[in-house]
Amino acid sequence: MQKMGAEDGKVAPEHHHHHHHSDSEIVGSDRTAYSGPLSGPPSKRGGRKSARFNIPDSGAGVGVGVDADEQAYVEITLDVRDDSVAVHSVKTAGGADVEDPELTLLAKGLEKRSSFRAASVVRNASSRIKQVSQELKRLASFSKWTHQARFDRTKSAAAHALKGLKFISKTDGGAGWAAVAKRFDELSENGLLQRSHFGECIGMNKDSKEFAGELFDALTRRRNITGDCINKAQLREFWDQISDQSFDSRLQTFFDMVDKDADGRITEEEVREIISLSASANKLSNIQKQAEEYAALIMEELDPDDNGFIMIQHLEMLLLQAPSHSTRGESRNLSQMLSQKLKATTEHNPVRRWYRDTKYFLLDNWQRVWVMALWIGIMLGLFAWKYVQYRRRAAYDVMGPCVCMAKGAAETLKLNMALILLPVCRNTITWLRNKTKLGVAVPFDDNLNFHKVIAIGVSIGVGIHAIAHLTCDFPRLLHASPEKYKPMVQYFGPQPTSYWHFVKSFEGVSGIIIVVLMAIAFTLASPRFRRGRLNLPRPLNKLTGFNAFWYSHHLFVIVYALLIAHGEKLFLTHKWYKKTTWMYLAVPMTLYACERLIRAFRSSIKPVKILKVAVYPGNVLALHLSKPQGFKYKSGQYMFVNCAAVSPFEWHPFSITSAPGDDYLSVHIRTLGDWTRQLKTVFSEVCQPPANGKSGLLRADCMQGDNPNFPRVLIDGPYGAPAQDYKKYEVVLLVGLGIGATPMISIVKDIVNNMKTAASALESGTAGSGAGGFRTRRAYFYWVTREQGSFEWFRGIMNEVAELDREGVIEMHNYCTSVYEEGDARSALIAMLQSLNHAKNGVDVVSGTRVKSHFAKPNWRNVYKRVALNHSDTRVGVFYCGAPALTKELRQLALDFSHKTSTKFDFHKENF
């Protein structure tokens, strides 16, 4: 047995750091001593050796002057084998077994460590013992510290944080190795993987390439590997470490990434570098710019004694004090019960399954069902009426069923060409929505969808009518015998000898022009063309986008004129009262023409003054306008905007982001097409970079004394939208994706204004006089965006809401999807920084507002579940504005929870 005296147990203060143990590895702070696998050259005999180390008390300084009698000792007996060193026992100096869990874990770590092979071989057993002794001294000292100052991991917040710092998304590293090995074979050259390919090999995306490179450097430093490439065995060792589910192991790996000089201490400069790296990986440019400021904040918090560095235990403490998001007690039980209830159940009886599905479908869509049933019924009735009518006429003997098909389709076409105008009479629909109770039975929110359905009906009618005439009726007239044709002379004159006789007639020419113009308008109105999803070569690219859709739709002015003329020149009808095309179209066309005149008249007599303009990151232009006298609107509604400097004819709809109680109007316009791009350019030319403290990239503010020469803007509105019905619900769930948050912001502001009005009325004793139909008592707002800069759009509004909403009526959640999910090592430092800054300054580092941000995408099922748990036996209004991709999921979740819980969710989608 070998004994080491007090001198061997003493550690100088400047090297007393980086004391950490893990379930997978034991790492020393003094990197001059080898801290890799404990293997060496073969030894014919194994032996058992022991060493004694002192553990200094926390209150005493650790140095040369410490009396040996005051030292606490442990005695560690090691088994030295051919290629390994194993811990045999850990005892106190008096011979009693040590029950310290830290040292027990230490022993396990050494045993695990001893199973690895080393690239560089230690020459004799005594040197191996010396290496172990150096690490044990440091780790024993760290163990002493952890007993007194270590954060309590049994707390719920700590338990939640222990799941963090994941370097890979898969929890089973062994299962994931097969895919990693396959990628290694694809990416390696001569059996070696380059550092530049490490991230791709372990499954990280291209945005994390720099982060993966730093992880590679940390893993190679740990193993004293030089160079920028590793073999497959080393990659497997790396993979085992980063996929280790032990929090201590992950913490050590993360610490090594930050500790670039491997001295066991993290300096402020190293903190700044890792903040910048994490911000870059998560596309957080604002944090990257303020990395130095945030590094100072972390050092101030974790290094109060101003030592100039922090240790691994400080990092652990910061991580484990993250807020907990778990539910407890009764809420957890209710959540589990609800989850069980929401599990999909299989109904084996097909009749019962059909009945259940049909019942739910009718309950959820009865408004749409009766409107569609009525429309289809009328179409079938008109078609059958005309078919039977012509079945009894002499023309049937010559042209057969073809003439019946053509005339039946024409009758449905007349009605559909009349109906198709009604859904786009916005003023009329807004009046019906606001002033009547028809909204209970008529789905006004689906006006544009009904417009598209009718367009399909028009297409079918035109197709049947044209094909029946061109391919059947005209050829039969040409080839009919003189006897059969004789009754047709009064309609068509002498029997023609050429097919072109019919085509070149007014009826033929006008019909063909109508078909061609409709085909152009319908094609350019399809989603792929209208939203510019097709990449066509020049000059064909002008056929995509909103402008092409808008101008092509005005071809219908010609279509309607030709349609009326076409109906007056019918071959088989001569009496004026039987030429009914104009009768169908008269009222809708007059109503639509009045709508357009009202729009032009209203916009010209209600001038607006531009008060403020701001250009924000993410290509967003914010316009603050004076409110015209008598301009009354509801939150959630929209208005049309025209700028003659861009185009004197184009009007584009935008949600109003100001609240009805504000003394101004505001819209936020995202650059998505030609018109919006030119509008942003026009206004950017009159803006300047903002003064200190002002948001936005460019600003111009008349209220602050600026006198820019703004372009002239006209507005028309307001018009009704689904979101305006939020006041009907006591609880609302508002969801906005990107710029889709605009109507929701207005609603949030309106709720706050209504709360202030209600509070003032209560104080003055006139409660109930100013809340006019306002029922909302709780609102959940979820805003999901890809870019950190997007939060600047509504930063002032969100801060105002957070300050005024002292009752907690509005619960706001910001999600930044460019940041990796909570628990991912790439966003771990961002999460730490977020907690620190919010606790100290009350400001979120991601959004720059008082509202704390979440990372990645929301779990929408959990969002619905939480609302259902908090508001049982309640009808909740769900209002969504954003890309169509999420519509299906949110609508289906609303149906599932409505069917299987006592909370009923009414889903409303804004036309986006």
Cα–Cα distances (Å) from 337 to 340, 342, 900, in that order, read 5, 9, 12
**What pLDDT sits at residue 340?**
55
Segment 37-53 shows an average pLDDT of 41
Residues contacting residue 753 through CB under 8 Å, at least 6 positions apart = 659, 660, 661
Which tokens in the block code for residue 513? 């022009």
pLDDT surpasses 80 at 347:
no
Higher-confidence residue of 880 and 130: namely 880
Separation between Cα atoms, residue 405 and residue 407, nearest integer Å: 6
**What pLDDT sits at residue 335?**
53
Cα–Cα distances (Å) from 585 to 388, 563, 581, 839, in that order, read 24, 10, 6, 66
Residues contacting residue 628 through CB under 8 Å, at least 6 positions apart = 606, 607, 608, 715
Segment 295-321 shows an average pLDDT of 77
Higher-confidence residue of 504 and 458: namely 458
**What pLDDT sits at residue 698?**
78
Separation between Cα atoms, residue 175 and residue 170, nearest integer Å: 9
Whether omega for the bond prior to residue 304 falls within 30 degrees of 0, making it cis, is: no
**What pLDDT sits at residue 644?**
86
Beta carbons of 74 and 55 less than 8 angstroms apart? yes
Higher-confidence residue of 873 and 606: namely 873
pLDDT confidence tier of residue 764, bands split at 50, 70 and 90: low
User: DSSP code of 437?
Assistant: S
Beta carbons of 608 and 626 less than 8 angstroms apart? yes
Segment 299-311 shows an average pLDDT of 80
Separation between Cα atoms, residue 91 and residue 73, nearest integer Å: 9
**What pLDDT sits at residue 22?**
37
Separation between Cα atoms, residue 668 and residue 671, nearest integer Å: 10
pLDDT confidence tier of residue 251, bands split at 50, 70 and 90: confident
Segment 102-109 shows an average pLDDT of 49
Please, is 410 exposed, middle or buried when counting C-beta atoms within 10 Å of its C-beta (0-12, 13-18, 19+)?
A: buried
pLDDT surpasses 70 at 234:
yes
* Most confident listed range (265-269, 766-770, 870-874): 870-874
Which tokens in the block code for residue 58? 């926390």
pLDDT confidence tier of residue 411, bands split at 50, 70 and 90: very high
> Which of 41-45, 109-113, 544-548, 555-559 is predicted with the least confidence, judged by mean pLDDT?
41-45
Using DSSP bridges, classify how beta strands 664-670 and 853-855 pair: parallel, antiparallel or unpaired: unpaired
Full 3-state SS string of 539-585: CHHHHCCHHHHHHHHCCHHHHHHHHHHHHHCCCCCCCHHHCCHHHHH
pLDDT confidence tier of residue 227, bands split at 50, 70 and 90: confident
pLDDT surpasses 90 at 517:
yes
Considering the chain, what percentage of its residues have pLDDT values greater than 90? Answer: 13
pLDDT tens, 734-763?
Answer: 999 988 888 888 888 888 887 777 767 666
Separation between Cα atoms, residue 578 and residue 567, nearest integer Å: 10
Q: Provide the residue type at 620 as one letter.
A: V
Which element (helix H / strand E) includes 737?
A: strand 731-737
**What pLDDT sits at residue 62?**
38
Which tokens in the block code for residue 751? 């709720």
pLDDT surpasses 70 at 790:
yes
Strands (E), 62-175: 72-80, 85-92
Beta carbons of 643 and 680 less than 8 angstroms apart? no
Residue 727 sits at φ, ψ, to 5 deg, of -65, -15
pLDDT confidence tier of residue 320, bands split at 50, 70 and 90: low
Full 3-state SS string of 845-888: CCCCCCCCEEECCCCHHHHHHHHHHHCCCCEEEEEEECCHHHHH
- The residues that bridge with 909 in the sheet, in sequence order, are 880
Tokens 């502001």 belong to: 749
Segment 2-31 shows an average pLDDT of 38
Neighbours of 556 (CB within 10 A): 17
Which tokens in the block code for residue 788? 């950190």
Segment 542-562 shows an average pLDDT of 87
Separation between Cα atoms, residue 714 and residue 649, nearest integer Å: 11
**3-class secondary structure, 230:** strand
pLDDT surpasses 80 at 135:
no
Between the two ends of the chain, the Cα-to-Cα distance in Å is 80
pLDDT confidence tier of residue 125, bands split at 50, 70 and 90: very low
Considering the chain, what percentage of its residues have pLDDT values greater than 70? Answer: 74
Nearest-5° Cα angle at 124, 118 to 128? 60
Separation between Cα atoms, residue 495 and residue 53, nearest integer Å: 120
Whats the size of the chain, residue-wise?
A: 912
**What pLDDT sits at residue 765?**
63
pLDDT tens, 521-531?
Answer: 999 998 888 87
pLDDT surpasses 60 at 53:
no
pLDDT surpasses 80 at 315:
no
Beta carbons of 114 and 86 less than 8 angstroms apart? yes
Q: Provide the residue type at 272 as one letter.
A: R
Beta carbons of 757 and 770 less than 8 angstroms apart? yes
Residue 607 sits at φ, ψ, to 5 deg, of -70, 150
Residues contacting residue 461 through CB under 8 Å, at least 6 positions apart = 409, 410, 412, 413, 416
Cα–Cα distances (Å) from 228 to 57, 195, 314, 691, 757, in that order, read 43, 5, 31, 47, 66
Residue 768 sits at φ, ψ, to 5 deg, of 95, -10
pLDDT surpasses 70 at 704:
no
> Which of 21-35, 171-185, 626-640 is predicted with the least confidence, judged by mean pLDDT?
21-35
Segment 850-859 shows an average pLDDT of 84
Higher-confidence residue of 774 and 868: namely 868
Separation between Cα atoms, residue 743 and residue 724, nearest integer Å: 9
Cα–Cα distances (Å) from 392 to 68, 388, 786, in that order, read 122, 7, 65
Residues of 431-469 as b/e, b for ≥16 C-beta within 10 angstroms?
A: ebbeeeeebeebbbbbbeebeebbbebbeebbebbbebb
Kindly calculate the radius of gyration of the chain based on its CA atoms and give it in whole angstroms. 38
Whether omega for the bond prior to residue 539 falls within 30 degrees of 0, making it cis, is: yes
pLDDT surpasses 70 at 274:
yes
**3-class secondary structure, 620:** strand
Instruction: State the average pLDDT for the chain.
Output: 76
Using DSSP bridges, classify how beta strands 72-80 and 85-92 pair: parallel, antiparallel or unpaired: antiparallel
Separation between Cα atoms, residue 749 and residue 810, nearest integer Å: 10
pLDDT surpasses 80 at 616:
yes
Segment 778-784 shows an average pLDDT of 90
Tokens 């990197």 belong to: 31
Which element (helix H / strand E) includes 229?
A: strand 229-230
pLDDT tens, 167-222?
Answer: 766 555 556 788 888 888 888 888 888 888 888 888 887 877 888 888 888 888 88
Residue 281 sits at φ, ψ, to 5 deg, of -65, -30
Segment 812-816 shows an average pLDDT of 88
**What pLDDT sits at residue 503?**
85
Beta carbons of 721 and 910 less than 8 angstroms apart? yes
Beta carbons of 553 and 521 less than 8 angstroms apart? yes
**What pLDDT sits at residue 840?**
78
Segment 867-883 shows an average pLDDT of 89
pLDDT surpasses 70 at 5:
no
> Which of 289-303, 339-353, 466-480 is predicted with the least confidence, judged by mean pLDDT?
339-353
- HSE (side-chain half, CA atoms, 13 Å) at 648: 1
**What pLDDT sits at residue 774?**
65
pLDDT surpasses 90 at 414:
yes
- The residues that bridge with 719 in the sheet, in sequence order, are 638
pLDDT surpasses 50 at 344:
yes
Query: What is the per-residue DSSP string for 472-515?
Result: IIHHHHHHS-HHHHGGGHHHH-SPPS-THHHHTSHHHHHHHHHH
pLDDT confidence tier of residue 40, bands split at 50, 70 and 90: very low
Higher-confidence residue of 589 and 721: namely 589
Segment 544-561 shows an average pLDDT of 88
pLDDT surpasses 60 at 864:
yes
Separation between Cα atoms, residue 478 and residue 467, nearest integer Å: 16
Higher-confidence residue of 69 and 224: namely 224
**What pLDDT sits at residue 878?**
92
Separation between Cα atoms, residue 796 and residue 791, nearest integer Å: 10
